[in-house]
Chain A
Amino acid sequence: ELKVEQNPLFLSMQEGKNYTIYCNYSTTSDRLYWYRQDPGKSLESLFVLLSNGAVKQEGRLMASLDTKARLSTLHITAAVHDLSATYFCAVGTYKYIFGTGTRLKVLA
């Protein structure tokens, strides 16, 4: 059974700092998705990674996928308060398994 683990679960960081969120998964998959959720809101798609070595960037966020290591990273560059949210990775095809989520708080 596919398992997806994220770490850290909680992350409190100062504005302007860099940090990386990790997403490990247990079985082979060529598809990995990152979502963002603000409190009380729906999950918003951030990145779709469809192959080994895929790298996507949007603003201060960059996501990458290493299918051989079964690892994806979400890197935050020069964090700003607006990035405060919960971030989820999800793996699979049709039956998507989500990670536990990383609650990010960026302090001004």
Chain B
Amino acid sequence: EAGVTQFPSHSVIEKGQTVTLRCDPISGHDNLYWYRRVMGKEIKFLLHFVKESKQDESGMPNNRFLAERTGGTYSTLKVQPAELEDSGVYFCASSQTLTRGYTGELFFGEGSRLTVL
């Protein structure tokens, strides 16, 4: 079974440019999360999808960030325009619905490292 995949693994852009990150969750996982880790600091929650709906986007830093999950499958996270402080590693994770027998355990992708110059 394929794990969570993210693309690109590394992106280097200039301030003001646009970047789109993509995440393909594990097939059948309704829950999809985006997290960000900046310069070795804590992993911060950005948002949570349940299927195609945004369940919680309280962690999105500002309106330069736009996440979508059309059709409830893969998700994209667009940063437009990018600023220096957006640099970091963006992790995507997915999980099954929290019901009896399912623990809420997250399965992570390897992350997309974004460098804004």
Contacts and interface: CB of A to CB of B under 8 A. Distances in A.
A101 to B, nearest CB: 7
- The binding surface of chain A is classed by DSSP as loop
Contacts, number: 60
B69 interface: no
Contacts of A48: 103-105
Contact of B105 (A41, A45, A101): A45
Given A94-B55, A98-B35, A43 B45 contact: no
Contacts of B42: 98-101
Contacts of B75: none
Contact of B110 (A31, A40, A90, A99): A40
- In this complex, the interface size class of chain B, counting residues with CB under 8 Å from chain A, is 20 to 34
A43 B108 CA distance: 6
A19 interface: no
B74 to A, nearest CB: 17
Interface in A91-108: 93-101
A42 interface: yes
Given A42-B91, A42-B111, A93-B98, A98 B43 contact: yes
